[in-house]
Amino acid sequence: MASFKLWIGASAADTITRLAVQLGSTMVVARLLTAEEFGLASLVLGVTTIMSAFIGLPFEESLAQRRKLYTTHLETALFVSAVLTVICVGLSALFGPVVEHFAKAPGFAVALVISSLLLFAQGPGSVARAIARRHRRFVDLSTSNALSTVLACAVAVLAAFAGWGVYALLLQRLLPNVFYPVLALGILKWRGQRIWVPMRWHGVRFRELFRFSWLHLADVLATNAGPAALSFLINGFFGQAILGMLNIALRIVDPLRSALLSVGHNLVFSVLVRMQNDARKLTTKAAEISTGVAFVVVPAFVGLAVSSPVLLPMLVGPGWESSIPLSQLLCLAVAFSFPFNFYFSGYSALGRPEFGLFGSLFSLIAMVLIFVVAAKLGIPNVAGIAFVSYEVAKVIAALIFAVPASGRSLWPPLNQLLRIWIGALIMAGVIQWLFFSGTPAQVSVVNLVAIVLCGVIVYPLAMLVVCRRCLMQFLQLMRGN
């Protein structure tokens, strides 16, 4: 228990550090760049994220999930990742100009090639993360994650001041993947462990990894295709400026979501993988973990939603006010879906990545269909509606597999989750009444701090009424009981 509390503490420090530096760097670049540059960055990163799915991510999960792991598995993963990176760079150079022409996005082709070159570090980084997860070295993992983000954001800010425009945004997102393996290798060397693994092809090892990897690869591809598809749909229907507004709205949501999800998945996976021979026990445990996570995550994102009229102008400055309603919708959508991500962590630990693939495809199809229909009908805030539909479909997919596997044992945690939402909405209602019911909210640090303190006080009081058991369980967890 002491070790687990240490891992949670290190992960919390990692999350806070990454969130702070990402928001801090966004405060700078949003005041230096245009909405069109943010829109172009969304297009490029949408495609780059899909390419990165080929390079290391499936192998990371497969390496972490295997019961027996040999050095030749690592050599094979590094070799295949390097080959796939070369292919992605070539495809970027070949098809980048074509996409630039049809998307009417000047500068897309060159930016895509440069972004794809940065993916060479994806393979070593994924292998390093898999090793850290297998040996439960979450302190090392968190330290490397936090430092890589700090360094990347510093470079991105310097690039923005140097007038690099969209490339500052690309560096902000992609450079952590470059710095991470370097830092991880440095920690291994400091520990006196082996730090060099050659890239070699081993057909037998590849086949051993392939069954899990290709399914997980398809899942990651479908998952990463969601943001890319939404970016290109918005660009095609509404243009780069509106896409830039979505990019800004996501900058309230994504840093916190990404940090919590990556940290949470690693910790949860390490717990659930030990139950992979008992599907019912594993699924029930995943539901319980999801409810425990929801106790903190749901009020956090609901609080972000209600405080967006103050937080977003402070973060990005004037000129982005139209992003506020969109950011509120995105925050609520993530609050709804985030806890259910750990059901898919359970399916991964169970060795059933096809469940995740179904969920990703179902969510992608739902989002695209609803976006096109809403856009054709002229419904306002189409981007937000499509984003919500994606997150809702993800929850439905998670439950489709969880209910049969766990039976009636799933309903108690879902009931607690409903009560947590009631408590979070009571908190949001009190904040709305106190700070936003009269004149326009004052955009200041003092007002934001007052909003946060109000939420911190009201939410536990609300939970005492609507779910005292939820509050007591959380306090017991914090005390280590």
- Report the range out of 56-60, 272-276, 443-447 with the highest average pLDDT: 443-447
User: Is residue 194 assigned to a domain?
Assistant: yes
Q: Greater confidence, 452 or 478?
A: 452
Angle at 372 between CA 42 and CA 94, to 5 degrees: 45
In terms of residue numbers, what domain contains 89?
Answer: 1-212
User: Is residue 310 assigned to a domain?
Assistant: no
User: Is residue 414 assigned to a domain?
Assistant: no
Using alpha carbons, select from 413, 416, 387, 385 the residue that is nearest to residue 399.
Answer: 413
Please give the pLDDT value at position 284.
79
Please give the pLDDT value at position 51.
86
Q: What is the pLDDT of residues 178-211, one digit of tens each?
A: 898 888 777 767 766 666 677 777 766 777 666 5
Q: Greater confidence, 17 or 151?
A: 151
User: Is residue 472 assigned to a domain?
Assistant: no
Residue whose token pair is 């030990």: 274
Please give the pLDDT value at position 113.
94
Total structural domains within the chain: 1
Task: Please tell me what DSSP assigns to residue 441.
Answer: P
Please give the pLDDT value at position 220.
72
Q: What is the pLDDT of residues 335-367, one digit of tens each?
A: 999 988 888 877 777 767 778 788 888 999 999
In angstroms, the Cα distances linking 216 to 60, 211, 226 are: 10, 9, 16
Q: Residues 206-222: what's their mean pLDDT?
A: 67
Task: Please tell me what DSSP assigns to residue 202.
Answer: -
Say if CB 130 and CB 63 are below 8 A apart.
yes
> In angstroms, rounded to a whole number, what is the distance separating the alpha carbons of residues 237 and 170?
24
Please give the pLDDT value at position 168.
93
Does residue 236 register a pLDDT over 70? yes
Q: Greater confidence, 141 or 149?
A: 149
Lowest-pLDDT range of 47-56, 103-112, 278-287? 278-287
Q: What is the pLDDT of residues 424-439, one digit of tens each?
A: 999 999 999 988 887 7
> In angstroms, rounded to a whole number, what is the distance separating the alpha carbons of residues 162 and 32?
10
User: Is residue 400 assigned to a domain?
Assistant: no
